[in-house]
């Protein structure tokens, strides 16, 4: 099989180099074989979503721009795996009935061994000063009952969930089941006593 390279593109993709080392990772001395690791210029894939969408592991690293204004719009993640990463930006606020959500590949399955979310879901009430709430989900708790932590709700005027434009959800695959969540959500609703966006 012939492999074709565009060396000009490859050359311009390299923006620099890490300090050279010997093959064992130590300091170079005269006469040793040198190892040089390139620093690459990278651009992230952008995926625009306004209807039910399934993401795949090949999409890892993508920025997902989510128009969540249509009720029951779901983003389905690929099966969790270490190193997968998605950034979800709410570009149009979530429908006010709160039906739009990010769901795991095994959404609705109960018992250990299925995908789940853990981490933090922070909420800000946008029309009131100093109104914040957060939900913290412990990994062991979610792993034991994944059916209780397999979707993230997007609702622009929720009292326990958020989803106005400007909300952001970062997702990181930590192992074969656990998605780490760092979400900062905005809402126009009056905040309840606790946040409950990971459910």
The count of other CB atoms within 10 Å of the CB of residue 155 is: 26
pLDDT at 8: 66
Q: Look at residue 39 and tell me whether its pLDDT is greater than 80.
A: no
What is the predicted pLDDT for the residue at 7? 63
Is residue 80 pLDDT above 70, yes or no? yes
Taking 80 as the threshold, does the pLDDT of residue 114 lie above it? Answer: yes
More confident residue, 173 or 109: 173
The answer, yes or no, to whether residue 6 has pLDDT greater than 70, is no
Six-digit token string for 189: 């609703």
More confident residue, 151 or 43: 151
- The whole-angstrom separation of Cα 166 and Cα 154 is 12
Q: Which tops the pLDDT comparison, 36 or 44? A: 44
Specify the DSSP element, H or E, that contains 118. strand 116-125
Distance CA 161, CA 156 (A): 8
Mean pLDDT value across residues 57-79:
92
Name the residue among 181, 197, 187, 190 with its Cα closest to residue 88: 181
């Amino acid at each position: 099989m012939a492999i074709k390279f565009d060396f000009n593109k490859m050359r311009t993709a390299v923006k620099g180099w890490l300090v050279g080392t010997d093959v064992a990772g130590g300091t170079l001395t005269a006469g040793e074989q040198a190892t040089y690791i390139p620093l690459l210029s990278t651009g992230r894939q952008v995926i625009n979503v306004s209807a039910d969408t399934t993401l795949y592991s090949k999409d890892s690293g993508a920025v997902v721009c989510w128009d969540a204004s249509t009720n029951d719009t779901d983003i389905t993640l690929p099966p969790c795996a270490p190193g997968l990463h998605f950034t979800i930006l709410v570009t149009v606020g979530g429908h006010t009935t709160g039906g739009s959500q990010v769901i795991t590949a095994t959404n609705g399955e109960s018992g250990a061994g299925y995908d789940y979310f853990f981490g933090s879901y922070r909420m800000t009430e946008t029309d009131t000063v100093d109104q914040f709430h957060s939900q913290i989900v412990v990994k062991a708790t979610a792993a034991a009952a994944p059916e209780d932590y397999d979707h993230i709700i997007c609702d622009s005027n929720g009292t326990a969930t958020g989803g106005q434009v400007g909300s952001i959800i970062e997702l990181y695959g930590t192992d074969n089941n656990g998605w780490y969540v760092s979400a900062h959500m905005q809402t126009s609703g009056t905040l309840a006593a606790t946040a409950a966006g990971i459910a």
